[in-house]
Structure 1
Amino acid sequence: MLSDIERKVLRIIGNYSAGRRRMPTVDELCIKTGRDCGGIMEVLEVLAWEEYIEWDRMQPDKIVLLEAWERGVHHPWRAK
């Protein structure tokens, strides 16, 4: 189960992917969440570890979205 900040970052990444047809930068994630760069990097590491995204700390702005929704949570507005 993802923490609130992990879920929030995942939703921001998903919304950028769908709405803007690109991934957010680490700086944009910092602005949207109010977190510092180090905190966002930790969140991205967790999301990569949990296989929601592909991400490497050496290329922090290169994010590949694998899954935009948290697993195991029922979303009534989302088709099954």
Structure 2
Amino acid sequence: MLADIERKILRIFYNYSSGRRRMPSMRELIIKTGRSRQDIARALASLENQGFIVWEDKQRTQSVLILKGWEDGLPARQKNATSSLDYWTQY
């Protein structure tokens, strides 16, 4: 199970990569999480050790590659819309 900061950072990376088509900078992570650079670096190292991300260039957060967007055992958002009307009424 991920710690709160790890889960928060993973969600920020996931949202940035899908919505903004880039990864957040360390400065943006500090602002979004309210944590120090050291706390964020520790959380990123932990995420990498657990296999959620790959972080090759440790100086830049833009080099992070997401391997898993959520924890194992937790279901992803399920899409079970059967018609176009279901899409607009269930989501």
TM-score, length-normalised on structure 1? 0.86
Count of aligned pairs: 78
Question: Which structure has greater strand proportion?
Answer: 1
| 1:23-52 Cα shifts (integer Å, max 9, x gaps) | 111111111000010110000000101111
Q: Which has the higher contact order (CA 8 A, sep 6+)?
A: 1
Larger fraction in helix: 2
Q: Which of the two has higher C-alpha Rg?
A: 2
Residue 59 of structure 1 deviates from its aligned partner by: 3.1
2:67 paired residue number: 66
Match for 1:71: what amino acid? D
Once residues 19 and 79 of structure 1 are traced to their aligned partners in structure 2, the CA distance between those partners, rounded to angstroms, is 19
Query: Which residues in structure 2 correspond to 1:23-42 (within 5 Å)?
Result: 23-42=23-42
TM-score (structure 2 length as normaliser): 0.77
Is the CA contact (8 Å cut-off) linking 1:41 and 1:57 kept in structure 2? no
Give the ranges of 4+ consecutive aligned residues of structure 1 lying more than 6 Å apart after TM superposition. none
Partner of 1:48: 48
SS in 2 for 1:64: strand
In 2, distance between residues paired with 1:79 and 1:12? 20
* Structure 2, unpaired ranges of 5+: 80-91
Percent identity over the alignment is: 49
Tell whether the 8 Å contact from 1:48 to 1:55 is kept in structure 2 after alignment. yes
CA distance in 1, matches of 2:4, 2:58: 25
